[in-house]
Amino acid sequence: MRFLKIAGVLLLVCSGSTCFAESLDEHWSLVTGEDPISYQTVASLRQSSANSIRDEKAKDEVLPILEFRCVPSTGAPIEFRIDWRRFISSFNTEAGFKADGGKTTWLKLGVDQTNKITLSRSAADVEKLLARIAGAQMLEIEIAPYSEASVFANFDISTLDAALGELKEACK
């Protein structure tokens, strides 16, 4: 695997014939590469939670990952997903999004086949979330794993607006 640092802002990681470009930001990573499930090239803006949560066995701590993504050159809208890195549900569920301690916005989310990743179900959901959190500093996401008490993941979204601009460029 090769690592090349370019202008102090990009890190190019190459393994075989596949390369991933990653921006180095205090809060967000912008990655372009092949999705291991769909085999499509995706651009992905990611951030790990500022706090950990317990896994489904209550043995280990895991850091959920908030991700905004798109398939470049298709005109497809940006989607969001949260990889909870633990079992959440085997069917659609709701998550609460609270920006800067304000009112919680609840969205119905899909769940992928691993039952650990929740995802947006429509472009309207993404637009609603982005409008709700625009200009905010902190985002708290609440979800209740199946038959368990709610867990909370917190994200520093103070640089999200600028990072989304980079993602939108990568999505063209």
pLDDT for 70-88, tens place per residue?
Answer: 999 888 899 999 999 999 9
Checking if the pLDDT of 9 tops 80, the result is no
Output 27 or 104, whichever has higher pLDDT. 104
Give the tokens for residue 47: 């951030």
Task: Give the integer Cα–Cα distance in Å for 139 and 141.
Answer: 6
Say whether pLDDT at 32 is over 50: yes
Q: Is the pLDDT of residue 37 over 90?
A: no
Distances in Å between the Cα of 150 and the Cα atoms of 94, 103, 144 are: 11, 17, 4
Is it the case that residue 24 has pLDDT exceeding 50? no
pLDDT of residue 1: 33
pLDDT band, very low/low/confident/very high, at 46 (cuts 50, 70, 90)? very high
**Dihedral angle sign, alpha carbons of residues 116, 118, 51, 27:** positive
pTM of the complete model: 0.83
CB of 120 closer than 8 Å to CB of 81: yes
Position 172 confidence tier, pLDDT thresholds 50, 70, 90? confident
Domain boundaries, the chain: 30-171
